[in-house]
Chain A
């Protein structure tokens, strides 16, 4: 039995005939928070989608608590507690905030606890509580992001995977999100955080991976690595 909660081994996959991941290996321990960064289009989202079961691996394996999960359906993976909050369009536009959240508790296990979970989410994101009966198409960008994460929190959460939660957000919003995510992980929830905003990511993670060209190019920790260097490396000279 491996000590790792989640393990990805030499994962290779893609879409149709286009290969995106060449052989990615990483791991996540209980209570750990890892970050994944790198240039756009190099496979970060693809990796999360492979873990949550939206696409199948071509080679390699993904295991959770020692068992292989790479042939499981997204539904089964959600039942295991691996929750993927994907990038961009993750909401149900014609439902209210409250409905969106309740929908997040869809699986049987989570459904019975939905009032509890909902309270926690509103506690974490008071803004959402204010807007709970509004259609989510009326929310601002930051509020939508909060809601997306909130939906993820309604499930029976064992591992939280966030794909670029700060995309397109103003600095004030990012602050709020950072605090909220820190509170979530403070309760011991393991986190996989995919981010473009390297600063944001380093505040919230224990270990980080650089994904470049479909491979892991660097594995390190926020203390050891030089932030300026990273930024230079892939922004070509500063933020």
Chain B
């Protein structure tokens, strides 16, 4: 393997891994706390990118990128809470909760996708870069934006981990995840924790969408592949461990980068799928799974 290849794989893999980590962590968080799976996660990512674009771009509100990012994170947090109220909360306590929520969030996803198509049209858009320019690293050139992404995502995830570990609210989220009834008996407003977690998960998706939208393009269907990748990540990493999810995200990112280089865009999905299948065969709960 040439050195250039290795660098390309490394940089590309870390970028992809960062994005997948943000996506998959949101899914994992919701699963851990609410025990439901959000099929609308990809759509939320897409919507977050569009929202950021609308607020920042001159053909939208033209308020600049920072405003766009803030608007997107806050807006998606609210949207996440709204989705929780309509698509999840009414069905809590029912026997087939997981299946029902898969279908309602599936429907929600369709709704958001098609609405976005109607609002913004099918043509591609792009988010401006936070940092312009390129520089040379390890003998290859890398755009400053991609370098930012590689540093930003882990930073956000570390912040998230600190939030969960150190803050009172974070403790409540972990508590609800580990023992819902005991949390109730302590006086935690579990309802509110559910809504907050869903909103937080949506904001993480928005962040992933903003990243993808700045490196590649924003389209109504941009959430599809990342969502499937996020599924592979949570399966590979195993549900129930946030650190496992984050690690698996980078593994998948690097694996994908490697495949892309040698097998091309259509050779990659089979390898990823096979890897997932292989892991599942030997460890049905994923590499780091606890359930």
Direct contact of A and B (CB under 8 A): yes
Are A103 and B189 touching (Cβ within 8 A)? no
Complex Cα distance, B187 from A113, in Å, reads 16
Complex Cα distance, B164 from A99, in Å, reads 12
Asked if A84 lies at the interface with its beta carbon under 8 angstroms from chain B, I say yes
Complex Cα distance, B171 from A52, in Å, reads 22
Task: Collect the chain B residues with CB atoms within 8 Å of residue A151's CB.
Answer: 182, 186
Q: Chain B interface secondary structure, helix, strand, loop or mixed? A: helix
* A99-128 interface with B by 8 A CB criterion: 99, 102-104, 106-107, 111
Chain B, interface size: which category? 10 to 19
Complex Cα distance, B181 from A147, in Å, reads 16
Segment with Cβ contacts to B, from A61-69, A89-97, A217-225, A231-239 = A89-97
Identify which of B171, B186, B189 contacts A99 (C-beta below 8 A).
Answer: B171
Give the residue name and chain of the A residue nearest to B188 (CB). A106
5 nearest interchain CB pairs? Answer: A78-B187, A107-B187, A74-B184, A92-B178, A75-B187
B residues in contact (CB < 8 Å) with A: 168, 171-172, 174-175, 178-179, 181-182, 184-189
Q: Given A74-B187, A106-B188, verify A54-B168 contact (CB < 8 Å).
A: no
Give the residue name and chain of the B residue nearest to A94 (CB). B178
Q: Given A90-B179, A91-B179, A92-B178, verify A155-B186 contact (CB < 8 Å).
A: yes
Complex Cα distance, B56 from A233, in Å, reads 77
Complex Cα distance, B277 from A161, in Å, reads 49
Complex Cα distance, B185 from A93, in Å, reads 16
CB pairs A–B below 8 angstroms (8 shown): A54-B184, A74-B184, A74-B185, A85-B185, A86-B182, A90-B182, A95-B171, A111-B168
* A20-79 interface with B by 8 A CB criterion: 52, 54, 74-75, 78-79
Complex Cα distance, B181 from A78, in Å, reads 13
Are A103 and B187 touching (Cβ within 8 A)? no
Task: Collect the chain B residues with CB atoms within 8 Å of residue A79's CB.
Answer: 187
Complex Cα distance, B183 from A52, in Å, reads 13
Complex Cα distance, B187 from A79, in Å, reads 7
Complex Cα distance, B185 from A94, in Å, reads 18
A residues in contact (CB < 8 Å) with B: 52, 54, 74-75, 78-79, 83-86, 89-95, 99, 102-104, 106-107, 111, 151, 155
Complex Cα distance, B182 from A165, in Å, reads 15
Identify which of A86, A93, A94, A106 contacts B187 (C-beta below 8 A).
Answer: A106
Are A52 and B178 touching (Cβ within 8 A)? no
Give the residue name and chain of the A residue nearest to B182 (CB). A90
Task: Collect the chain B residues with CB atoms within 8 Å of residue A99's CB.
Answer: 171
Are B185 and A92 touching (Cβ within 8 A)? no
Task: Collect the chain A residues with CB atoms within 8 Å of residue B179's CB.
Answer: 89-93
Complex Cα distance, B231 from A51, in Å, reads 42
Task: Collect the chain B residues with CB atoms within 8 Å of residue A104's CB.
Answer: 186
Task: Collect the chain B residues with CB atoms within 8 Å of residue A102's CB.
Answer: 171
Task: Collect the chain B residues with CB atoms within 8 Å of residue A111's CB.
Answer: 168
Complex Cα distance, B183 from A75, in Å, reads 9
A32 CB to closest chain B CB (Å) equals: 22
Q: Given A74-B187, A106-B188, verify A54-B182 contact (CB < 8 Å).
A: no
- 10 new A-B contacts, CB < 8 A, other than A52-B185, A75-B188, A89-B179, are A54-B181, A89-B182, A90-B182, A92-B174, A93-B178, A103-B171, A103-B175, A106-B172, A106-B186, A155-B186
B151 CB to closest chain A CB (Å) equals: 29
Are B186 and A103 touching (Cβ within 8 A)? yes
Give the residue name and chain of the B residue nearest to A151 (CB). B186
Task: Collect the chain A residues with CB atoms within 8 Å of residue B178's CB.
Answer: 92-95
Are B182 and A75 touching (Cβ within 8 A)? no
